[in-house]
Amino acid sequence: MTLTLQIEDLALSRGGRRLFSGLGLRMEPGQACALTGANGSGKTSLLRAVAGLCAVDSGRIAFGNADPASARASSLHLLGHLDGLKASRTAGEELAFWTGWQGGTPSAMAAAVRRLDLHRLLDLEVRRLSAGQRRRLALARLLSAPRPLWLLDEPLSPLDARWRAEALEIMAGHLSGGGLILAAVHDPLPLAALALEITT
Amino acid sequence: MSAALQLLRREMAIAWGRGGGLLVTGGFFAGATLLLPLASGPEPERLAQIAPGAAWTVLALSALLGLERLFERDFEDGALDLMAHAGLALEFTCALKCLGHWLATGAPLALLAPVAAIALGASPALAPLLFACALAGGLAFAFTGGIGAALSLGARRGGLLTAVIVLPLFVPPVIFGGGALDAFTAGMPWRAGFALLCAYAAAAVALGPLAMAAACRNALS
């Protein structure tokens, strides 16, 4: 399943304040884009707008010829600061639930657990996990339900050096399989082909 | 369909899990019903007269307890974002969340309601009708309550706001159910009140999720 992303002349406001306008971006399969900008410049809002969670003032977000609603429902992953993992449930329960919710398979989930070395964490309640472990669990969700477009909000920030390298490798693998990654970051991504800086 | 079942299971596990769930709701229900004889005096005839109505009213108030966290939990930890863009339609998701809430707390309370009414002196013959009213009413409380819970997303002290929004919506089912119980006790026709209660519950189940999904989308954007 391949997907392209076109953003044309986009303008976005939050709380009555204009964040940016005239923003454009085109992404083809296999491309990554590092989204940079000052705190509060609208990186997270842009990701949420692409995911269809917040309305745009003007402009267009399209996914090739695909219907935007179905593309959002079945072809993109959103990984934000808030990872949607319930503190009172175990890591295994949460991963299984989201895998099913996003249309993944148990075998893909098992592979994701191996890839992110989560075996020993699956029985723990999410509240017992460290920030980095939680992020690994959230990353496992991306792998257990294959979807072409990944919207990542500072994906590497809580990870240690080893897992940053592993996460970058996972992202590179996703790109080589024809996926797209739009990531809000503070440091440039070593694998990014495109760079988009949000300025007001 | 399996995603729907999984969501239902998850909602019930969360409702039953830490932070009380049924124990707290059931405890509140029992405690509030016990206050009644303390306030209105212990004369058995008087208590028996108000017992069904009292159990019914306290049931409506108990239904408010878990509502506050129904959407707020998922809103705060980002799960609502994921539910809104992927998986099932948000309307269906909202309906399942309310159904899970009802199964986890409303349905068990329906078992408790006749026990409380009989303890206060109501006739045991009333138990089946009170149970049926509590089941249908609980469904109406859960689905109208979900509207309040979704509308108060992101507000400070959302629980209080939920109660203020929801109580007016609880008026019709309380009247219909209370009317049916009164009529039954007095040996008069009670089916009309019960049918109206069921109709209200059906309308809440059908229309509530549309309002909840719209309120969730508004809170997320």
pLDDT exceeds 90 at position B86 = no
| pLDDT tens-place string over residues B99-156 | 999 998 888 899 999 998 888 888 889 899 999 999 999 999 999 999 999 999 988 7
pLDDT exceeds 60 at position B19 = no
Residues in a beta bridge with A76? A149
Distance CA A162, CA B60 (A): 54
pTM: 0.89
- Find the mean pLDDT for residues A60-81: 88
172-191 in chain B: CB under 8 A from chain A: none
- Find the mean pLDDT for residues A150-160: 90
Q: With contacts defined as CB-CB under 8 Å, which chain B residues touch A53?
A: 81, 84-85, 220-221
What the block records as the tokens of A197 is 């800086």
76-105 in chain B: CB under 8 A from chain A: 76-87
Distance CA B161, CA B149 (A): 8
B193-201 long-range contacts (CB < 8 A, ≥24 apart) are B194/B129, B194/B132, B194/B133, B194/B136, B196/B172, B197/B133, B197/B136, B197/B137, B197/B140, B197/B173, B198/B136, B200/B140, B200/B172, B200/B173, B200/B176, B201/B136, B201/B137, B201/B139, B201/B140, B201/B143, B201/B173
* Ordered DSSP codes for A22-44: EEEEEE-TT-EEEEE--TTSSHH
Least Cα separation, residue A162 to chain B (angstroms) = 26
> Which band of pLDDT confidence, cut at 50, 70 and 90, is reported for residue A55?
confident
Taking the Cβ of residue B2 and every Cβ of chain A, the question of whether any pair is shorter than 8 Å is answered with: yes
* Ordered DSSP codes for B169-199: HHHHHHHHHHHHHHHHHTTS--HHHHHHHHH
Distance CA A76, CA B99 (A): 28
Mutation target to probe the A interface, by most A beta carbons within 10 A, among B5, B10, B72, B90 is: B10
| pLDDT tens-place string over residues B169-219 | 999 999 999 999 989 988 899 899 999 999 999 999 999 999 999 999 999
Quote the strand ranges of chain B, DSSP E.
none
Taken in order A146, A94, B146, B53, is the CA torsion positive or negative?
positive
Share of chain B above pLDDT 70, in %: 98
Distance CA A124, CA A84 (A): 16
Coil vs helix vs strand at B139: helix
Mutation target to probe the B interface, by most B beta carbons within 10 A, among A46, A53, A77, A93 is: A53
Q: With contacts defined as CB-CB under 8 Å, which chain B residues touch A82?
A: 76-78, 81
The contact set of A with B (CB < 8 A) is 48, 51-55, 72-74, 76, 78, 80-89, 93, 96-98, 100-103
What rounded mean pLDDT belongs to chain A? 88
- Find the mean pLDDT for residues A180-199: 80
> Which band of pLDDT confidence, cut at 50, 70 and 90, is reported for residue B34?
confident
Least Cα separation, residue B125 to chain A (angstroms) = 42
Distance CA B218, CA A9 (A): 24
What the block records as the tokens of A139 is 């990353």
ipTM beyond cut 0.85: yes
Give phi and psi for A164, each to the nearest 5: -60, -45
> Which band of pLDDT confidence, cut at 50, 70 and 90, is reported for residue B18?
low
Beta carbons of A87 and B6 less than 8 Å apart: no
| pLDDT tens-place string over residues B40-67 | 877 888 888 888 888 888 999 988 888 8
What is the predicted pLDDT for the residue at B205? Answer: 96
Q: DSSP letter for B106, please.
A: I
Distance CA A154, CA A78 (A): 11
